[in-house]
Amino acid sequence: MAERRSVFRPRRDDLRRLEHSLERSSLAREVTYAQREMSERMRAWLRDNRSPAAEHWNLLTDLKLEHLPHAEANPGTVAQPPP
């Protein structure tokens, strides 16, 4: 999202540093968002349809940037992290 929205671009380097620091916390096994029971067929579909980022973080989800309406909206006020 920081690449697409100019309002986030000043924070892009900070976000990249945070992403790199999280690499050590990468999941060792595939997980879903709160769905404990999921058929193998659904898991296979999600593996085939997940984003490269979801694959990298070992998440079974089909959530993509285009599913986030605020990623394309006109920039309004953006919450700033605490100092």
What tens digit of pLDDT does each residue of 3-59 get?
777 787 888 888 888 888 887 777 667 777 666 778 889 889 999 999 888 888 888
Query: pTM of the prediction?
Result: 0.49
Cα angle 76-79-81, degrees, rounded to a multiple of 5:
150
At residue 33, the pLDDT reads 67
What pLDDT does 45 receive?
92
Place of tokens 């380097």: 13
pLDDT at 63 > cutoff 90: no
- Indicate if the alpha-carbon torsion angle 35, 27, 11, 79 is positive or negative: positive
Alpha-carbon 22 to chain mean position: 12
| CA pair distance 46, 51, nearest whole angstrom | 9
Q: What was the pLDDT predicted at 44?
A: 92
Tell me: pLDDT of 65 over 70. Answer: yes
All structural domains of the chain with their residue ranges: 6-71
Short-list 3, 4, 16, CA closest to 73: 4
